[in-house]
């Protein structure tokens, strides 16, 4: 299957998937999301590929959701199918987490919002020293969705998660390592080599034991937050109808500071 926005390179048991929208800082559009879902379905049937590296072309892993697409005016948001889009986002991270391949996010540059969701869905996150992480959603009047807030809490704890989400502050690679968001920091030139070194080490172990370990660890680490797949899309549909979300989106499009009312 061919992809418009994803570059696939296969070497032995390893596939490297590069999100190739460098002019958009690899922002995730609905079309990109659909391509990832198709890829995950293919990988589900691919028993030859044992490892997958996800990365981004240019100076970003992914700058998050593509807010330049679609009508983000107040009227446009009323027509936006937020609930359906949220279900697709939940499918995206669930399907990624449940791949039987060992997955590594090679985080180069910006890794924000939905891009951070992609990285969190991987088994390992190895960061370039110039990587920048962040959750900018509250800047445009929404919260960290797709079931991502409890996943972030599971990774870095409630205090750090609240700080990232509520302040929208950017987190550099050093802090990301300290709080447990990434497992390793390397120079930009060594990023892919570090990913392949991790793969080589894991590949030398018993394959079935590795596969079972991934399932056991994912089951043990699964946040105990009920099933957000059922309720979060309804919450997001509600927040997209609020004045704050409309104001945040319009302010983003107009490149100005938003004026939230808190309603």
**What is the strand order of the sheet 60-62 is part of?**
60-62, 110-112, 132-134, 171-172
Task: Give pLDDT, residue 260.
Answer: 83
Task: Give pLDDT, residue 223.
Answer: 67
221 belongs to a structural domain:
no
Selection from 166, 173, 155 nearest residue 106 by Cα: 173
Task: Give pLDDT, residue 48.
Answer: 96
Selection from 17, 14, 16, 18 nearest residue 49 by Cα: 14
Residue 152 scores a pLDDT above 90: yes
262 belongs to a structural domain:
no
Residue 71 scores a pLDDT above 60: no
207 belongs to a structural domain:
no
Reported as a single tens digit per residue, the pLDDT across 5-31 is 999 999 999 999 999 999 999 999 999
Q: What is the mean pLDDT of residues 132-145?
A: 93
String of b and e for 151-162 (b: at least 16 CB within 10 Å)? bbbbbbeeebbe
Question: Among 92-96, 127-131, 230-234, where is mean pLDDT lowest?
Answer: 230-234
Q: What is the mean pLDDT of residues 121-144?
A: 95
1 belongs to a structural domain:
no
CATH of the domain at 171: 3.90.226.10
User: Domain of 61?
Assistant: 6-189
Residue 69 φ then ψ, to 5°: -95, 145
Range of 143-157, 180-194, 228-242 with top mean pLDDT: 180-194
pLDDT-derived band of residue 3, with 50, 70 and 90 as boundaries? very high
Selection from 63, 91, 94, 65 nearest residue 80 by Cα: 65
Task: Give pLDDT, residue 230.
Answer: 66
How many domains, the chain? 1
Helix 228-239 / helix 82-97 crossing angle, nearest 10 deg: 140
Question: Which residue has better confidence, 232 or 105?
Answer: 105
Question: Which residue has better confidence, 71 or 125?
Answer: 125
Task: Give pLDDT, residue 69.
Answer: 63
Residue 226 scores a pLDDT above 70: no
21 belongs to a structural domain:
yes
213 belongs to a structural domain:
no
Residue 255 φ then ψ, to 5°: 55, 50
Q: Are 181 and 133 in contact (CB under 8 A)?
A: yes
| Chain position carrying tokens 């070497």 | 11
Output the average pLDDT for the chain. 90
pTM (two decimals): 0.88
Residue 239 scores a pLDDT above 70: yes
204 belongs to a structural domain:
no
Sequence-separated (6 or more) residues with CB below 8 Å from residue 51: 13, 14, 15, 101, 102, 103, 104, 199, 202, 203
Reported as a single tens digit per residue, the pLDDT across 76-86 is 555 556 778 88
30 belongs to a structural domain:
yes
Burial class (CB in 10 A: 0-12, 13-18, 19+), 209: exposed
């Amino acid at each position: 299957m061919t992809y418009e926005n994803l570059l696939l390179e296969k070497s032995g048991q390893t596939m490297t998937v590069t999100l190739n929208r460098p002019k958009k800082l690899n922002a995730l559009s609905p079309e990109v999301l659909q391509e990832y879902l198709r890829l995950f379905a293919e990988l589900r049937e691919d028993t030859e590929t044992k490892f997958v590296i996800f990365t981004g072309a240019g100076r970003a892993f992914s700058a998050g959701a593509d807010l330049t697409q679609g009508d983000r005016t107040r009227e446009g948001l009323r027509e936006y199918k937020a609930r359906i889009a949220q279900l697709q986002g939940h499918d995206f991270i669930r399907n990624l987490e449940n791949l039987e391949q060992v997955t590594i996010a090679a985080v180069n540059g910006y890794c924000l919002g939905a891009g951070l969701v992609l990285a969190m869905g991987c088994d390992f996150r190895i960061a370039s020293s110039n990587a920048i992480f962040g959750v900018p959603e509250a800047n445009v009047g929404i919260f960290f969705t797709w079931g991502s807030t409890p996943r972030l809490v599971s990774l870095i704890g409630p205090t750090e998660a609240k700080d990232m989400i509520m302040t929208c502050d950017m987190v550099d690679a050093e802090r990301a390592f300290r709080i447990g968001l990434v497992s390793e920091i390397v120079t930009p030139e060594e990023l892919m080599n570090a990913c392949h070194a991790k793969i080589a080490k894991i590949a030398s172990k018993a394959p079935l034991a590795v596969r079972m370990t991934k399932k056991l660890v994912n089951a043990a680490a699964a946040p105990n937050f009920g099933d957000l797949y059922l309720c979060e899309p309804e919450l997001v549909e509600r927040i997209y109808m609020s004045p704050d979300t409309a104001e945040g989106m319009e302010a983003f499009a107009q490149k100005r500071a938003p004026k939230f009312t808190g309603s």
